[in-house]
Amino acid sequence: EGLRAIAARRGITYGAAASTRWLGRDPAYDAALAREAAILVPEGEGKWDSLQPRQGQFTLREMEPILAFADRHGQAVRGHTLGWHTAMPRWVWAALDGAPAARAAALLEAHILGVLGMTRGRIRDWDVVNEAIADPDLLPDQDLRDGAWWRAIGPGWIDLAFQTARAADPEARLVINDYGLEADWPRAAEKRARMLRLLRGMRERGVPVQALGIQAHMPLDQPFSPAPFAAFLREVRGMGLEVLLTELDVIEPAGQPLRDADIPARDEAVAARAHAVVSTALAEGCRMVLTWGLADPHSWLNAWAPARRADGAVVRALPLDAQYRRKPFWHALARAF
Ligand code: XIL
């Protein structure tokens, strides 16, 4: 029995990021994804460069295999992501260069209208804005990240994205998604406060945001305290918003050799962290949990995290191993659900 069934019995939706780099290439992987996940999120195929590679040319070509797989296996799909400061094709950067705010706003609106026009009815959950809060250590004096849309449109870009999304698809759940809100890094409290200020303002202005997506890339070299995280989730839920974990994985400390002999201990540490964050979120009313991938060799952290061993050993960040066997992380999720 897979995690999707175990979670469903408790009213919880479990899913995973999927990528056409892996999907349809290995029957054992496809079977594992079908068995474990009730919802898929395209890891890259829902980003701007995939959906509007040329101006005005909207296409689901890259995402379609994931939508088709989900249809075949009775899975939902969530969208990731409409407004972000990266993963945009060169033509967008060129168009934004020196553009007046109104022209930039028209670009963003056209993208959201075009994409949701294609996915309406098929994707009912969208990350409308991703990573819009500035990291306090990088930008001490303002809450919002100084990304491309902020620079071109101003702080109103976030409201605009949500209002446009609502107009384009009255039924999708509109989510704001971010990282740095879960672990006890030194500026966690300030990053949480920034997100709460943004959300409170959006609620006051009547902006149609419905949920906060917490990425939950959990670094093991930062502690995790359930109490302040739970208090943060309570504040968000108190505004009438749902919370979800959208990109859970566990990041092992950099600079340590990843020796095979250490795998059992590493797996236990990874599982304990996953259990702590998931059980805290569930206790605060979170009803959807996605891991950012399903099996270790597919994790983006193999490319991104510096903990990789020179001989190509993979990270231990996800619920299944390279043979799609269940790791302690998998059992931690099953227990938490
Ligand atoms: C990552 C993908 O996993 C990579 O394959 C890609 O090269 C870069 O983006 N936060 C997010 C995701 O919101 O979109 C990122 O995904 C991981 C961090």
Quickly list DSSP for 134-170: PPTTT-TT-SB---HHHHHH-TTHHHHHHHHHHHH-T
Rounded distance between C-alpha atoms, residue 209 and residue 126, angstroms? 11
Percent of the chain with pLDDT over 90: 92
Give the model's confidence band at 309: pLDDT under 50 very low, under 70 low, under 90 confident, else very high: low
In the chain, how many domains are there?
1
Give the model's confidence band at 304: pLDDT under 50 very low, under 70 low, under 90 confident, else very high: confident
pLDDT of residue 253: 82
- Nearest residue CA, atom 9 of ligand 1? 44
Residue 246 has phi, psi (to 5 degrees) of -105, -25
* Chain centroid to CA 112: 18
Who lines ligand 1 at CB under 6 A?
A: 43-44, 130, 215, 247, 300
pLDDT of residue 261: 84
pLDDT of residue 24: 95
Give the model's confidence band at 189: pLDDT under 50 very low, under 70 low, under 90 confident, else very high: very high
Query: How many Å lie between the centroid of ligand 1 and the Cα of residue 43?
Result: 6
Query: How many Å lie between the centroid of ligand 1 and the Cα of residue 305?
Result: 12
Is the pLDDT at 129 greater than 80? The verdict is: yes
pLDDT of residue 307: 53
Domain with residue 65: its CATH number is 3.20.20.80
Give the model's confidence band at 331: pLDDT under 50 very low, under 70 low, under 90 confident, else very high: very high
Greater pLDDT, 305 or 60? 60
pLDDT of residue 322: 93
- Nearest residue CA, atom 6 of ligand 1? 44
- Nearest residue CA, atom 16 of ligand 1? 43
pLDDT of residue 72: 98
Q: Which residue range(s) make up the domain with 52?
A: 3-336
What is the arithmetic mean of pLDDT over 156-170?
Answer: 98
- What ipTM was estimated for this complex? 0.99
217 CA closest ligand 1 atom index: 18
